[in-house]
Amino acid sequence: MAHRFTCTERVQFSDTDMAGIVHFSNFFRYMERVEHAFFRSLGFSIVDPPVEGAERVGWPRVHAACDYMAPLRFEEEFECELLVEEVRHKVIRHLIRFWKSDGELAAEGRITAACVRKDPTTGKFKAIEIPQRFRDKIEAASHELLRRPERH
């Protein structure tokens, strides 16, 4: 079962501010990209397509936060590391770390996503239990992996 996923990104010019470093808001875009890539690696999509005999669900974010430690600059490659921090009945929480190529931690963020279903009558979203097809492939990472390391 999956509890960790990594991918490499490169800072684009449009990601940077006047100082030439990644603008803080773009870390939230990076977090979303790595979350989507994690779901794809498991054979899912963050936008759940209709599946015969399966309930269609969505994953709206109910919380997002990010702490910044070191700047990322234009053209710099960095590693995004997603760790499944917690899987509850209706919610998944991800811990996402951004590693500079020298092993320094650039930032650390968290996303909490609720599993929801759209009521066909009212059109409103309602939190539901995470379907078994997701639970069969996702588990929380160990406490050792979740502890903030000094260096990668």
Superfamily of domain 4-141: Hotdog Thioesterase (3.10.129.10)
CA–CA dist 109, 30 (Å, integer): 10
Residue 52 has pLDDT above 90, yes or no: no
**Could you tell me which residues are beta bridge partners of residue 138?**
2
Residue 121 is predicted with a pLDDT of 87
State the chain's maximal CA–CA distance in angstroms. 53
- Span 35-50, mean pLDDT? 88
- Span 32-36, mean pLDDT? 96
- Tokens 């811990």: give the residue: 95
Q: CB under 8 Å to 88, separation ≥6 — which residues? A: none
pLDDT digits (tens, 9 = 90+) for 83-128: 999 999 999 999 999 999 999 999 999 999 999 998 888 889 999 9
